[in-house]
Amino acid sequence: MKTYETTGRGWPVIAMAGAIALSIARTGLAQETPPAPDVEVAMGPIEEVVVIGRYRSAATDIVSERIDSDVAIDFLDAEGIARLGDSNVASALRRVPGVTVRDDKFVYVRGLGERYSSTQLNGAAVPSPDLTRDVLPLDIFPAEIIDALAITKSYSPDLPAAFGGGNVDIRTKRVPEDAVFNIKLNTGWNSEGGDKAWTYNGGGDDSWGEDDGTRALPGALRDALVAYEGNLSPNNILTVLRRGGGNPTIQEADLINRQLATTLNRDLDLKRQSIDPDLNGEITGGYRWFLGEDWEFGFLALGAYESAQRNRNRVNRRVVNPDLNYSLTERSVDQVNWTGALNLGLRFTDDHEIGTFSLALRNTEDETSNVITCLDGQFNDCGDELRPTQGRLYDIRYEQRDLRVNQVTGRHKLGDATLGFLPEMFGFLERVRDLEVTWYYSDSTAKSDIPNEARFGLIETLDPATGGVTSSQLRPTASSGEYRFSELDDDVLSHGFAVSVPQYWGRLDATLSAGHSYSRKGRRYEQYTFGLGSTAPGFPAVAEGTPSEVFSDENLLDLGTGIRIVTGIGGFGTESYLAGQIVDASFFKFDLLWDSTWRLSGGARWESFQQLGVPVNLLAFRGSRVPLSPQEIADSAINEDDWYPALALTYIRPGFWSDEFQLRLGWSQTVARPDLREISRSTYIDPLTEARVRGNPFLVPSELTNIDVRGEWFWDNGDNFTVSLFLKDIVDPIETVQGGATEENILFNFVNADSAEIYGVEFEGLKGLDFASRWLGDWVNGFYVAGNLTLSDTEIEITPGPGVGNITNQQRRLTQHSKWVANLQLGYDSPGGNHGATLAYNSFGERILFAGIDGFGDAFEQPFHSLDFTYSWFATDQLTLKFRLRNLLKDKLEVEQDGVSVIEQKVGLTGLVDLRWAL
């Protein structure tokens, strides 16, 4: 029985750290003559082929891995990703049965949101550089570094117990068999781009995705916050000055405030510039040396750079009077991504391997928005027939996300070579021949920096006849200009080991394994906000013009304008926070195979889990910066430990309708825990809905019971067919609900519902069209069709409570759940292998984005129908040309509530051309 302790137990206010990192790390140094695949070591247990690479026969290479797997795992390899032309992990995962992706970043598995799915990198946990979520955004991983993606849908005790919809393990490329040297160049365009984009004067290093200090929080302003105890008002400055002696005046204090205002970067006027074509480049090199008969050493290095500009225009509407309550956003985004990766590997015979993997990623987005608003309370009345006015917002947001990963892995086996080296006195080790020990150590850091995020609010008077703008002024408020400086640090340290021993007793083959892992995670988020503006009578005289003109040094230092800098504006509670996790886990597992017909595997995992998040007031210089009592801190802490069991039964019968057949049954108990952001009392802006989201420190973990049944048919030619049934029962599921609204934003909260249930069926198959050649001719021999369809439903019961609002539908589907997910592919490989083409379709059913309150209905994200085309020409053994078209149907992102399109954004058609040269 699980117990929750709420004692503080000396929890430090500083972040503690961690998420799970178990699983066997794959090292993968190649041999001079590659052996038959070692399922457990070389690739890990794999079960599902989703797409085929350049040749359909590639499917047969991993059929043995599917058969040897003890649990249900979907698999996408590097060949399949290349075939479909997906540029990152998030795009590739859309092809997997039952998987959808939100915001092109976060994975939904079997209709469960991202909080019910975990992500690992080579079997280890890594931190998230995303401000809005604790889960890892998968768009930051370029496809070039990926060897395989394994999506586990049935729980196994060697995986983290935080398992709901599934676990995604990103397996990176390892040391190559032979010398490798590749160069790839890429360019592209988007139909929604147009010729011009919004921009502003940035820094000198923007082309590398790094701010050169132009946007940094001014040192003078940071020092002033300390000197004047977080309050820069003239009255407080005067109070502090008088403590130091002398007889300062309010005019002197007011002048100090104005001088501090001049340190802010105000050179932020919006302007238009031409859009440049996408520019992408990649270079890869690797080699392997043989050091005598027993030793091998190798490396693989990769560097990639990508820059692109996109226009992402959007319409937002309120459910009430949508014709008068809306905003029109013209948004331009400059994207810069670069990647550096290095693998080193050392092997001694076939029995011992040590490998390292180092990764540096940068993902930078520079957003510039020009927004027209017609929302009640925003200084405008678009419906006034005599003197119509509208609001306008100039928004600037520069976000730099960095991920650094360093991993060391090892594998050691009591094989023939090792036993041959040992003296005779160790002959007893023959009893545990092929005993294997794997271990890993992973240290990773994620950072996200958003310096000088700015918003300027204006009022525009319109001509009643033409609708043209006749005058434009900054709003007469204390924060007509808003500045925000945000910084996130997320660190994860994890290590673990596993031991497995195979035994053979006649018709029974058995493998016993056990292991341990430990991880700690710490997250620090800091945010400073400032306002610049005036309500003085003299301000309107200078309020007309661009932000740099209105907030010029001359106007700031002019006493008559009344312009001052203020601190802590725009807050909705304490924005900064500290949070941490510690997970200590052990597992044992058995895998029994009787007469190559019946297979029983299972075991249990024990996990000790601790988590705490506390808000921090950075402007509090007297007393505690944590605005909570010791009891409140203790009440919000999670301290639990429990066992998580799993069982899997497989029936194997070759020749049953196909060359190979397996019937699987799986049962397990797992948990879904609130992430660090969800338990903090701070708020943030959701990038999709632009709504404020507030954490709930009293969330408790959700308990899940999982049941899976799967039938699999494999043919020697690579064809396959799979049917899966699944059922999940959830206690205390975590839901996103609407909690009210501010003047400018909807407010979302998190809450534990009472219970939920999800059930469904998955179909998947791949079939070559060779059989049709007798009717249609030999030209169809190179074609194949592949696809998958998931049908599911959910039901949740939720009771209204504090902070939840008056929920309209207390019985409904889970938020983020889709009733259906579909993928369909038509592929072609020319007889000589010089040409390949794939047409891929992906879509999902409508899903609840958030639950409505006060009689308003739930908001549904509408289906997005994606049709992509990829053509590859293998001109020579070294030269490849690839042409890609994305979103051929030009579908758009849309969210509806009570028949009103509350969010609408065009995505556009994207065209990309790749040129690759390989040694």
| 151: three-class secondary structure by DSSP | strand
Residue 51 has what pLDDT? 35
Residue 342 has what pLDDT? 94
| 624: three-class secondary structure by DSSP | coil
Residue 134 has what pLDDT? 62
Which of 587, 647, 497 minimizes the C-alpha distance to 24?
A: 497
Close Cβ partners of 774 (under 8 Å, ≥ 6 residues apart): none
* pTM across the whole model: 0.84
Judge whether 459 and 393 are in contact, CB under 8 Å: no
Residue 390 has what pLDDT? 85
Residue 64 has what pLDDT? 63
Residue 31 has what pLDDT? 32
Beta strands in 798-846 (DSSP E): 811-812, 820-829, 835-844
Judge whether 660 and 63 are in contact, CB under 8 Å: yes
Judge whether 658 and 713 are in contact, CB under 8 Å: yes
Residue 115 has what pLDDT? 74
Residue 420 has what pLDDT? 85
Q: How far apart are CA 134 and CA 165, in angstroms?
A: 16
Which of 200, 162, 110, 104 minimizes the C-alpha distance to 670?
A: 162
Judge whether 14 and 578 are in contact, CB under 8 Å: yes
Question: DSSP class of residue 241?
Answer: H
| 314-317 and 564-567 beta bridge pairing | unpaired
Cα-based distances in Å from 813 to 218, 306, 897: 48, 40, 15
Q: How far apart are CA 356 and CA 379, in angstroms?
A: 58
Residue 120 has what pLDDT? 87
Terminal-residue alpha carbon distance, the chain? 59
Residue 759 forms beta bridges with which residues?
727, 793
- Length of the chain measured in residues: 919
Residue 823 has what pLDDT? 87
Tokens of 480: 């007509």
Q: How far apart are CA 852 and CA 806, in angstroms?
A: 8
Residue 774 has what pLDDT? 80
Q: How far apart are CA 232 and CA 228, in angstroms?
A: 6
Q: At what angle do helices 250-261 and 234-243 cross, to 10 degrees?
A: 120
Q: How far apart are CA 136 and CA 115, in angstroms?
A: 10
Q: How far apart are CA 715 and CA 868, in angstroms?
A: 28
Residue 86 has what pLDDT? 65
Tokens of 63: 């059929």
Residue 278 forms beta bridges with which residues?
none
**Helix (H), strand (E) at residue 357:** strand 352-374
| 109: three-class secondary structure by DSSP | strand
**Helix (H), strand (E) at residue 770:** none
| 227: three-class secondary structure by DSSP | helix
Which of 364, 367, 348, 480 minimizes the C-alpha distance to 410?
A: 348
Close Cβ partners of 428 (under 8 Å, ≥ 6 residues apart): none
Residue 55 has what pLDDT? 36
Q: Which residues of the chain have pLDDT under 50?
A: 1-62, 572-573, 742-744
Residue 894 has what pLDDT? 93
Residue 692 has what pLDDT? 73
Judge whether 272 and 196 are in contact, CB under 8 Å: yes
